A and B are shown apart, each in its own frame.
Chain A
Amino acid sequence: MTWAGILVACAACYALKLAGLSLPASVLQDARVQRTVPLVPIALLAALVATQTFSTGHHLVIDVRTTSLIVAIGMVLLRAPFLVVVAAATATAALLRFI
């Protein structure tokens, strides 16, 4: 089941890339498409941040991940590189659990 989902997702992502190179430009240069598509990652990434920090299953929770997120926000504001942001958040959670 996992494999099927992975392969379908890979095929879908490839199809989107190929569509951009192949479809007539007019389809994708439509004002609505140009305006909407860049907003999708913003909304989805923000929703992923929120749900993966403040929930366990179907429950809203505040735990060590909240502190990790605050540390990550601080790192992003300091313009730290990607790996540093992730490592700082991970280390914060590990440390808080250890204490």
Chain B
Amino acid sequence: MPLAHRGEKETIPVTFLHVDSTRRGVIRDALGIGIASGAYALSFGAISTAAGLSLLQTCALSVLMFTGASQFALVGVVGAGGSVWAGAATAALLGSRNALYGVRLSSLFDRGRLKRATAAHFVIDETTAMAIARESPADSRFAFWATAFALFALWNLGTLIGALATHAFPDPKVLGLDAAPPAAFLALLAPRLRAREPLAIAFAAGLVALACLPFVPAGVPLLVVAVLVAVYGILRTRQ
């Protein structure tokens, strides 16, 4: 008994220290991701304002949509003269990948409907990457929420600052802001192009979109591309 007792005494503090340093590392990483995305939100706020959305609409997108690529897509389509509905459809299509992230996280949020409904809002690239990198479910949940809080706070702050700064200028074109959306989309696209197939798909998608652009309403080339890539994906799976 005394031996076992001594053993416990030794392991508990060690385990505690281990967990503590793991979580400190998680918090540090979460803040780093939050700061990076805050900077990226600055450009979202600016692009959205330059596209003609009001301050409230811009901030509402960051609070309520809270998924970067979809937000950029919606304001990008509207800014290029497309209808808000074409922008909304593109945003939703880009948001479809979050459903796949949810599958990988569902075991973490299987208790309590309200908790799951709350967690769902924060299921995005960064929170998923941080959560699935941990070993225990408790650590995963901790990483998920730490990243969610840091991101949500700094993403919305960055959006507000970017929008307010751009409001001060009467003509965003003088600032070159019409060149900002393609660069933003390119920066979002680049990390996904590390193999030959995605690179080929990217080039083909760009060409198809340009080819049908003169003949269909603005924003529709994106939907054509989405349908074609879905057909391609399904056909390739069956082979």
Closest residue on chain B to residue A57 by CB atoms: B81
Against B, the Cβ 8 Å flags (1 = close, 0 = not) of A56-99 are: 01111000110011001101100001110111111111110100
Q: List chain A residues, Cβ under 8 A from B150.
A: none
Note all chain A residues with C-beta closer than 8 A to B60: 6-7, 10
Name which residue of chain A comes closest to B57, CB basis.
Answer: A6
In the bound complex, do residue B99 and residue A82 qualify as a contact, i.e. CB atoms below 8 Å apart? Answer: no
27 A-B pairs whose Cβ atoms sit less than 8 Å apart in the complex: A1-B84, A6-B53, A6-B57, A9-B70, A14-B121, A18-B117, A20-B98, A20-B102, A21-B123, A32-B238, A38-B192, A39-B201, A40-B230, A41-B97, A41-B189, A42-B193, A42-B201, A44-B94, A44-B225, A45-B202, A49-B182, A49-B189, A51-B222, A58-B218, A81-B36, A94-B175, A97-B173
Are the CB atoms of A44 and B201 closer together than 8 Å? no
Q: Which residues of A contact B230 (CB under 8 A)?
A: 36, 39-40
CA distance A20 to B121 in the complex (A): 11
Q: Mask for B60-103, Cβ within 8 A of A = 1, else 0?
A: 11001111011001101110110111011011111111111111
CB of B189 to closest CB in A, whole Å: 4
What residue in chain B is nearest A28 (Cβ atoms)?
A: B103
- Size of the A side of the interface (Cβ < 8 Å), in residues, is 76
Whether A60 lies near B123 (C-beta < 8 A) is no
Task: Select which of B80, B176, B188 is within 8 A of A91 by beta carbon.
Answer: B176
Give the docked Cα–Cα distance between A50 and B221 (Å).
11
Cross-chain contact B100 with A12 (CB below 8 angstroms) = no
> Given that A37-B100, A46-B206 are known contacts, is A21 also in contact with B183, CB under 8 Å in the complex?
no
**Which residues of A are in contact with B by a Cβ distance under 8 Å?**
1-10, 12-14, 16-23, 25, 28-29, 31-55, 57-60, 64-65, 68-69, 72-73, 75-76, 81-83, 85-95, 97
Q: How far is it, in angstroms, between the C-alpha of A88 and the C-alpha of B226 when the chains are bound?
A: 29
Q: Of residues B81, B174, B183, B189, which shows the largest number of chain A Cβ atoms within 10 Å of its Cβ?
A: B183
A74 to chain B, nearest CB (A): 11
CB contact between B176 and one of A1, A51, A76, A97 (< 8 Å): that residue: A97
CA–CA, A33 and B84, complex, Å = 27
Q: A49-B182, A49-B185 are in contact. List 9 more A-B contacts (CB 8 A).
A: A5-B87, A7-B60, A12-B95, A19-B102, A44-B226, A58-B213, A68-B179, A68-B182, A85-B184
B178 touching A73 by the CB < 8 A rule? no
Chain A residues, Cβ within 8 Å of B67: 13, 17
From A3, A23, A37, A97, contact of B97 by CB (8 A) = A37
Residue among A33, A42, A49 with most chain B CB within 10 A: A49
**Chain A's nearest CB lies how many Å from the CB of B48?**
10
Q: Give the docked Cα–Cα distance between A85 and B225 (Å).
A: 25
Residues of A contacting B81 in the complex (Cβ-Cβ under 8 angstroms) = 57
Q: Is B234 an interface residue (CB 8 A)?
A: yes
A44 close to B93 (CB less than 8 A): yes
Q: Specify which of A18, A40, A91, A94 is in contact with B229 (CB 8 Å cutoff).
A: A40
Q: A34-B100, A93-B176 are in contact. Are A18 and B228 (CB under 8 A)?
A: no
